[in-house]
Amino acid sequence: MENAENLVARISVQNVVLLDHKISGGITLGSVIVAYKIFPTDITVNFEDLKKKIEACLPEFASVYGYGEEPVAFGLNALIVHIKFPEDKTGVLDELEKKFEGISEISQVQTVMVRRISR
């Protein structure tokens, strides 16, 4: 049976090795996919133009993973946008929401889902 000191020491060494690989680029980290539900200001908003504006405000390390549309009510559709970015980036969710809300055709943004993927 392993005592607690040896176990802690072994875990600490593993963490240092992982951190060292992360710094030197030896380990490929996973990515995070965030799904946003974007409500347009009007039913006449062109989603193709809106997609271009959304893509233009993404940071260089982020990319669009996919789009979808969801009916809301009375002819109004919400645009579902899936954004992919590296998991080691922090503060990205709030930053993206603020940028999206700065687009004049967007009335509201909701974060629907956040998940980690390994590729």
Q: What is the pLDDT of residue 5?
A: 52
d(CA 119, CA 25) in angstroms, rounded, equals 15
Q: What is the pLDDT of residue 67?
A: 97
Q: What is the pLDDT of residue 93?
A: 86
Amino acid at 54: I
Amino acid at 92: V
**Bridge partners (DSSP) listed for residue 17:** none
Q: What is the pLDDT of residue 20?
A: 38
Q: What is the pLDDT of residue 119?
A: 66
Q: What is the pLDDT of residue 24?
A: 46
Q: What is the pLDDT of residue 26?
A: 54
Q: What is the pLDDT of residue 10?
A: 43
- Taking the chain (119 residues) in runs of 10, the rounded mean pLDDT of each run is 48 40 57 95 94 94 95 93 91 88 93 88
All domains in the chain, ordered by first residue? 31-117 (3.30.70.60)
